[in-house]
């Protein structure tokens, strides 16, 4: 999935945050599952709803992958969240359709604007690294509490080489992006679906979930220097669930933590 998710928490630890909500699909079950952290432990999660899916799609193919939870903006901020996912079959075109047939191009990241998830602006290209194929984008603000900040991290998968890497911009989403360590620098190989989130209690620490798609799914990594492709270390997985696949993690405050646990715990 070509995924763009803006996680609003920044690198400054906040005492009001009480935990994390993880939204995933499972390898054999393409539905939406919720996992709630054990307090502010960023590496310990338990399934909500007794391990059953929170959402089972009734449209399209009846399945969904790569769910991303998005906080609403404007008047919806703090009141509404959206979950965006990928249907198991995005589109079909007959070979006689001249608009959708021909020589394949490289895979690029596209974007569009919407205020209601019903109408969208014309899609534009955000990332094109031709001839390299790029997928699985996630964006992490470096100072999410400052609305004027122009500093971001973006993690993505090189689908050609099967690696995940990070780029940095201090000039906004449409500014100049650099790849720390150069064009060959990577965080990890044979992985996909990066999902990044700040630690709620340790300033400057980022957790990064990487999907080992040929093995047991998401495994957590961490770094105190996330503006680098080097220095990411494998985290302790003793309390981290197995077989979680592409998803996202959202920090939650005490009220929302208790509401989630009360509703689906």
- Domain borders along the chain are 17-91+106-264
Mind listing the pLDDT tens digit for each residue in 161-191?
999 999 999 999 999 999 999 999 999 999 9
Mind listing the pLDDT tens digit for each residue in 246-265?
999 999 999 999 999 999 98
Which residue, among 216, 209, 215, 164, has the nearest Cα to 191 in the 3D structure? 164
pLDDT band at 1 (very low <50, low <70, confident <90, very high): very low
pLDDT band at 109 (very low <50, low <70, confident <90, very high): very high
Q: Which residue has the higher pLDDT, 113 or 9?
A: 113
pLDDT higher than 50, residue 83: yes
Return the number of other C-beta atoms located less than 10 Å from residue 150's C-beta.
15
Positive or negative torsion for Cα 26, 49, 242, 161? positive
Residue 226 to residue 92: CA distance in whole angstroms? 39
Mind listing the pLDDT tens digit for each residue in 144-159?
677 788 999 999 999 9
Residue 135 to residue 106: CA distance in whole angstroms? 10
Q: What's the average model confidence in pLDDT over 221-249?
A: 97
């Amino acid at each position: 999935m070509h995924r763009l998710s803006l996680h609003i928490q920044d690198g400054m630890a906040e005492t009001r945050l009480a935990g994390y909500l993880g939204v995933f699909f499972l390898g054999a079950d393409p539905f939406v599952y919720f996992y709630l952290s054990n307090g502010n432990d960023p590496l310990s999660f338990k399934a909500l709803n007794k391990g059953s899916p929170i959402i089972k799609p009734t449209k399209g193919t009846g399945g969904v992958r790569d769910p991303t939870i998005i906080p609403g903006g404007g008047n919806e901020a703090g009141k509404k969240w959206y979950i965006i996912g990928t249907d198991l079959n995005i589109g079909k075109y007959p070979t006689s359709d001249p608009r959708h047939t021909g020589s394949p191009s490289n895979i690029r990241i596209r974007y569009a604007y919407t205020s209601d998830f019903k109408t969208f602006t014309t899609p534009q290209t955000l990332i094109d690294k031709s001839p390299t194929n790029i997928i699985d984008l996630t964006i992490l603000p470096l100072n999410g509490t400052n609305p004027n900040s122009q500093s971001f991290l973006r993690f993505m998968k090189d689908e050609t080489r099967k690696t995940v890497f990070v780029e940095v911009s201090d000039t906004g989403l449409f500014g100049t992006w650099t790849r720390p360590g150069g064009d060959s620098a990577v965080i990890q190989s044979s992985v996909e679906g990066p999902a990044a989130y700040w630690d709620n209690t340790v300033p400057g620490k980022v957790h990064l979930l990487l999907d080992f798609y040929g093995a047991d799914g998401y495994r957590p990594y961490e770094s105190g220097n996330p503006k680098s492709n080097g220095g990411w270390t494998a985290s302790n997985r003793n309390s981290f669930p197995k077989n979680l696949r592409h998803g996202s993690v959202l920090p939650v405050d005490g009220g929302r933590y208790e509401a989630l646990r009360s509703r689906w715990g």
